[in-house]
Structure formats: structure tokens, C-alpha cells
Amino acid sequence: MPRVAPLPLAVVLLALALRCGHDARPEPGAAAATGSAAIPTSTRPAPTGGAASAPVPAPSADACARSPACEREGACAPVGSGAACGALADEHCRSAWICRDWGACTAQDGKCVAGSSDACRSSWYCRLQGRCTAEAGACVVASDADCRRGEICTLYRQCVARNGTCHRK
């Protein structure tokens, strides 16, 4: 009997997560699947020590633009008092993973949010889970039509929207 190559672990985990109705990708800023603590992305730690501690220097525009948080979350510019990086323009969000994957393509209050259903419909979140409607800054499942747009319907027959997720009839 010929030997069949095993599926990559990521494919198996994704299939199991979808079958159970869970999202296989972590929410932006969430801890990694390995159990390690989340890497702070758009905030800087406060200085530690006594009164003699030196203040944390504000990030430069260039430092923010080159940071991993810019690539992931659109945190590409200094915000507020300059102690953190954030999304100040829609262009910051549109070039980040958070837009492609989660539909959060609009800058609002220094963060990227889902500002339109068009952005949600072009995201990985919609193509996979049917979260194709923008509501309160996030992509959500709002109708059976949303579910039918996602692979969750074609692969797992979860084509009915109920309580914000797609289910079988």
C-alpha cells in the first residue's frame, strides 16, 4: 500500500478549529498559539524603578513605521504624547495584516477598525468564517448570506447565521 504524506499540522488545526466553530487565527494582539505572552504591539512599557528612572523616549515616526506593530496592526505613527505608536491614517491600516485578515482597514482613535462591510467582505475573516458585515468596528456574521460567502458553508455546511456565528441548519 502506498504511503500517504501527512497533512501539515497547521492545516489539521485549522480544520479542527473550523469544525468546532472556532477561529483558528488569534485576534490581533492576542497571545500566540504556543502559549507565550502576547508581544506588546502599539504601547510602550512604563519606566520601572524609583524616581531616578530615565523616561522612555518617544518613538520617532521612522521607528513606528519600521515596527512589527505597523506591519501587523497599522500602528505606524506616534500618537498622543508620543509614548506609543498607532494608526493615524487609513493608509496605515490598509497596508497592515489586520486589514487583509480581519477587515479592520479604517483608522479610528489610533487603532484600525472595520469601517465598512466592503472591507470585511475582502478579508480572510469573511472568506473563511462568513464575518462579512461591519458592525461596531468589527466584522461580524449578520445574515445567512454572510455565512454562504465563507468556506465554513461550502466545506462544513454551516450556512445559517445564529447568534453571530454560522451553524448547520
Which pLDDT belongs to residue 77? 94
Which pLDDT belongs to residue 61? 85
pTM metric for this prediction: 0.65
> How many domains is the chain built from?
2
Do residues 92 and 129 both lie within one domain? no
Q: Show which of 90, 113, 136 is a domain's final residue.
A: 113
73 lies in some domain: yes
Q: What is the pLDDT along the chain (169 residues), one digit of tens a residue?
A: 455 445 454 444 455 454 544 444 445 444 433 333 333 344 444 444 545 555 556 688 899 999 999 999 999 999 877 679 999 999 999 999 999 999 999 999 999 999 999 999 999 999 999 999 999 999 999 999 999 999 999 999 999 999 999 999 8
Do residues 121 and 106 both lie within one domain? no
**Domain of 62, in residue numbers:** 58-113
126, 120 in Cβ contact below 8 A? yes
29 lies in some domain: no
DSSP-derived 3-state class of residue 88? coil
Residues 40-46: contacts with CB under 8 Å, at least 24 apart: 41/68, 41/69, 41/72, 41/73, 41/75, 42/69, 42/73, 42/75, 42/84, 42/85, 42/86, 42/110, 42/111, 43/83, 43/84, 44/83, 44/84
Which pLDDT belongs to residue 108? 96
Which pLDDT belongs to residue 47? 44
22 lies in some domain: no
Helical H runs in 3-89?
A: 9-19, 61-66, 68-73
Which pLDDT belongs to residue 72? 96
Do residues 126 and 104 both lie within one domain? no
Do residues 136 and 166 both lie within one domain? yes
Do residues 97 and 142 both lie within one domain? no
113, 103 in Cβ contact below 8 A? no
Which pLDDT belongs to residue 60? 84
